[in-house]
A and B are shown apart, each in its own frame.
Chain A
Amino acid sequence: MQAEEYSLIEQCRGGNSEAYAILVERYQEMVYNVACRMIGDRDAAHDISQESFLSAYDGLKRFRSDSKFSTWLYRITVNKCRDYLRGRKPDVLLDEVSEILPSKAPDPQDLLYRKQLGQTLQTALGALPEDYREVIVLKHIGGLDYKEMESILGVSANALKVRTYRAREMLKKFLLEAGVSNG
């Protein structure tokens, strides 16, 4: 996969921008979901995702063949999310988590229930400190391992493990206080 992606990148560098469409289609869902979960606003996440792809294209000349394109793209996306969050109002308060807690549905598979649960999760993620939210999103939404996260965030894998453990504990506390129990 990496050799094939590098071949696409080489074609982009050679002026064939059509090759970039393949990379955009391959990673757009990942970038969009990370941005959505990081900032909790779909419209802004859409803009950030677009900007991330444009910045990545602009920087292809500097892209090194020993890197993974996805890792590099994640790093750009995370940095854009950070910039956006710095210019925005403070995060939601914990109290808001319980306000949008879904009523317990009789059937947990129910689509609406899942959607509401997703909203509750989004609010809980928004209540986490930014660096905690980053590790939860990259680890559990992006499905990355700690080594990849180390490349993206510039923090050692061991430190990121500890951060992730603490972030999970905090998220667990928020969700329990909001009334979301296991099962």
Chain B
Amino acid sequence: MDKETQLIHELLDGELSPEERRDLLDRVNSAPLLKGEFDDLRSVVDMVESAERLAVPPEFTSQVMKRLPSPKVSFRKRVSSFFLGARVLRWNLASALAALCLVVIAAGAFFEMQKKGEIVSHRASLDKATRTVVISFYAPKAGKVSLAGDFNKWSIEKGLMKKESNGIWTLEIPLEPGTYHYMFVVNGEAWVTDPNAELSYDDGFGNKNSVLRVSL
């Protein structure tokens, strides 16, 4: 390969300085044979780079996810399951009263949290026929709740949720299969990560986005 041809390749790779590039193009334009070589190589590169990108079948991700091995249950999870797993208990009046006291205390804490406007639960369900995702969010004391995510360009106005009488806010949104990031915005200013999302991770700005995956 001669020097000029090698320079043409380097130019196509963007590896020449502006001066080297200008010098080479001057020589190419004044020598028909060299110009022919340059045009042919450039059209080969253009042809490969502009070749049709093949679309991935829409069920590709779901198929991979179905084939992933089941996670091994760690020692910690086994211990957790031992303590938290369902089992039949024999009981007597004294232990039942003690349990009742605990329930009353927990309920008090629960309602206290609600008074402070904290979010206690949400629910997301998928209508597969219409691909409409229904997202619900429990925040009885909030005056306004929005769902902001990459599906509505993180707008706090487009995803206004509707309040039901039981304090649950809901929104139906049509979504194509894919992965979406979102957060709830309470009263137009407090960005809240969904505490019940299967997955959430740092957005790089100090918040944690929740992740919603819609499958076929």
Would B39 and A24 count as touching, CB distance under 8 A?
Answer: no
A29 CA to B52 CA, complexed, in Å = 12
Q: Determine if A94 is an interface residue (Cβ-Cβ < 8 Å).
A: no
Give the interface size bracket for A toward B: 35 or more
Would B64 and A54 count as touching, CB distance under 8 A?
Answer: yes
Would A28 and B39 count as touching, CB distance under 8 A?
Answer: no
| Chain A nearest Cβ from B33, distance in angstroms | 14
User: Which residue of the partner chain, among A15, A53, A161, A166, contacts B64 with CB atoms under 8 Å?
Assistant: A53
Would A180 and B9 count as touching, CB distance under 8 A?
Answer: no
A76 CA to B42 CA, complexed, in Å = 30
Q: Helix, strand, loop or mixed for chain A's interface? A: helix
- Give me the interface of B with A, judged by CB distance under 8 Å: 1, 5-6, 9, 12-13, 39-45, 47-49, 51-57, 60-61, 63-65, 67-69, 71-72, 74, 178-179, 198-199, 201-202, 204, 211, 213
Interface stretch of the complex, out of A66-74, A97-105, A169-177: A169-177
Would A4 and B68 count as touching, CB distance under 8 A?
Answer: no
Would B40 and A172 count as touching, CB distance under 8 A?
Answer: yes
Most chain A beta-carbon contacts within 10 A, residue among B48, B55, B63: B48
Q: Which residues of B contact A25 (CB under 8 A)?
A: 61, 178-179
3 closest Cβ pairs, A-B complex: A182-B43, A140-B48, A15-B71
